[in-house]
């Protein structure tokens, strides 16, 4: 992830396949002015994971890359510190569209955010 927003935010990729993508991100450095995890940071983690999975799937179906076309997120719980873990799993993997659910949890395993990302799969 050299030179990407994910690197700047401290995202560490742990596992990647079209069926499951896992990464961590620290709360520290990714907060809003009140010291809570920024909702946008959760969206960046979610889009990073879903885009990686969609791109891996794109290669399997003869496409070159994936571009996000829709993201939504529900923030369930605030976080002030620690490491968040995101797990992306596919809801639908098609030839031209891939949709992932991304669950972001804190170190206690409590769900902090649930996001859904839809990517368009493109050829060169």
What pLDDT is attached to residue 124?
79
Classify residue 29 as left (phi > 0), alpha (psi -120 to 50) or beta.
Answer: left
Known catalytic residue: 47?
yes
Q: pLDDT for 2-38, tens place per residue? A: 899 999 999 999 999 999 999 999 999 999 999 999 9
Residue among 38, 56, 67, 68 nearest 93 (CA) = 56
Parallel, antiparallel or unpaired: strands 97-105 and 65-75: unpaired
Q: pLDDT for 113-122, tens place per residue? A: 999 999 999 9
- Per the residue annotation, which of 15, 47, 60, 107 is the catalytic one? 47
Residue among 84, 85, 83, 23 nearest 53 (CA) = 23
Q: pLDDT for 37-88, tens place per residue? A: 999 999 999 999 999 999 999 999 999 999 999 999 999 999 999 999 999 9
3-class DSSP state of 61: coil
Parallel, antiparallel or unpaired: strands 111-122 and 65-75: antiparallel
Domains, in order of start, for the chain: 5-122 (3.10.129.10)
Separation between Cα atoms, residue 86 and residue 45, nearest integer Å: 7
């Amino acid at each position: 992830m050299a030179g990407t927003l994910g690197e700047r935010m401290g995202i560490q990729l742990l596992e990647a396949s079209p069926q499951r993508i896992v990464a961590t991100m620290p709360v520290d450095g990714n907060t809003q002015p009140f010291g809570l995890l920024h909702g946008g940071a959760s969206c960046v983690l979610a889009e990073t994971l879903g885009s990686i999975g969609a791109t891996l799937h794109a290669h399997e179906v003869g496409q070159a890359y994936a571009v996000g076309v829709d993201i939504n997120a529900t923030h369930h719980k605030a976080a002030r510190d620690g490491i968040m873990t995101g797990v992306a799993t596919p809801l639908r993997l098609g030839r031209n569209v891939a949709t992932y659910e991304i669950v972001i949890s804190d170190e206690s395993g409590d769900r902090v955010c649930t996001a859904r990302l839809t990517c368009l799969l493109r050829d060169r």
